[in-house]
Amino acid sequence: MRLTGWDVSHRVGRPSIRFAAAVQICLVMLVGCQQRETPPAEGPAALVALVAYRSTHEVGLVQGTTVIARSAGDYFDYPGSSLVTEDGHFVFARSAGQVAAIDAQTRRITSVQVPGDARVGTGGGSTIVWWESPNRIMQLDLGRPTDGATVRQAVELPRGPASPAPAEPVLIAARSGTVVLARVESAPSPFGGPDTLYAIRRNGSITRLGEVDANTPIGQNSFSPGGDTFAYSRYRRSTNVCGQGGVTLVKLVDGSSRTVDLNRPAPGDGTGSQVSQMWWPADGPLTISYSSWNCSDLSTVVPQSVWQLSGDQWTQTTRDRALQVLDVTPHERAIVVPEQSDQPQTSGALVVDADGQRTTIRPQVGAIALIDRSAG
């Protein structure tokens, strides 16, 4: 299969609404708790070996090989977005101005409204946070949704250059009391970047993390389990069908950073590469999946596979073609298997592999996460 006019950054970059004019400020209103499709469990559900997933039109919870709770939506798709609250109590995802949340203990489903273009992160415990123009970080406790959303803090970013005027900030990620905002402050490239990143602490301090070395918006990202390091993927596009990817790790205490390029199967500028998925296991190093391809004839050189960071190199962890792999138990893995295609994929089939026996759970899954077993 040959690719024609394939735009790599379009497939995995942030939605184009990022670059539209700022939307009008909308009031945050609670839609109240409601049950949909899945009845509540009789008593708390077991919290061992639960896997959360986000597909294009659904967010759900899997135990073993059974989907025990799910909520449908119009479009769940934000690369790098959080999927589970920091206390492991709720699975959540944003769709068309609403956040669907599933209680991992009771399986009860709640829906709350947020601004239509807001990306949602975690704010500690069961809270979620988002950016609201012109200068506010909002928060809502999914454990107490009837309390509604409140202002977490006001943020005044540095003024930036007079020309061109900086773009509207966008929340990239949030965890452990830190919110990462991105703002395009220089003349934007035709592809949308580069982003300048800021870390906002709960105490109000602001750390400039610098301008991303890329000409496209940052893609996948992840906080370390302790929240002290923020990692993100960047993609420097050279043509419509070629570019090179890498991963930058930033120490949030001082903003210092280092970038690790992706391993390339062949030297030279004729090979393109880009990160597909990124996650940080609780007991392991930063992990990614990525693809590389031959830019001259647009054929995939290496299919999407899983790699872990070891020093300044990436080490392949499994020969499986996969977007994401999580160890659920010593004998069970959850794997997102991309379609067989010459193109790198942004989603795939969620399968559960138990001692080599695979069961397909859901199609078009873009991200999975393991529920914190200490939740409760």
Q: Report the range out of 3-12, 90-99, 102-111 with the highest average pLDDT.
A: 102-111
What pLDDT sits at residue 268?
Answer: 58
pLDDT mean across residues, the chain? 83
Confidence of residue 205 (pLDDT cuts 50, 70, 90): very high
Is 348 within the bounds of a domain? yes
Q: What is 102-170 written as a DSSP string?
A: EETTT--EEEEE--TT--EEE-STTEEEEEETTTEEEEEETTSGGG--EEEEE-------SSSPPPPPE
- Over residues 72-97, the mean pLDDT reads 87
Structural domain count of the chain:
1
Residue 293 has pLDDT above 70, yes or no: yes
Enter the tokens of residue 76.
């769940």
247 pLDDT more than 60: yes
Percent of the chain with pLDDT over 90: 56
Examine the pLDDT at 25 and tell me if it is beyond 70: no
* Amino acid 122: pLDDT: 95
Q: Is the pLDDT of residue 191 over 60?
A: yes
Whether 3 maps to a domain, the answer reads: no
Confidence band of 372 (pLDDT split at 50, 70, 90)? low
CATH number (domain holding residue 43): 2.130.10.10
In a domain, 375, yes or no: no
Does some domain include residue 102?
yes
Residue 106, number of CB atoms within 10 A of its CB: 15
Asked, for residue 15, whether it belongs to a domain, the answer is yes
Give the domain extent around 102.
8-370
The answer to whether position 2 is within a domain reads: no
In a domain, 272, yes or no: yes
Mean pLDDT of 252-272: 79
Prediction pTM value: 0.84
Residue predicted with more confidence, 318 or 247: 247
Inside any domain, residue 376: no
pLDDT of residue 376: 44
Per-residue tokens: 154: 């006001």
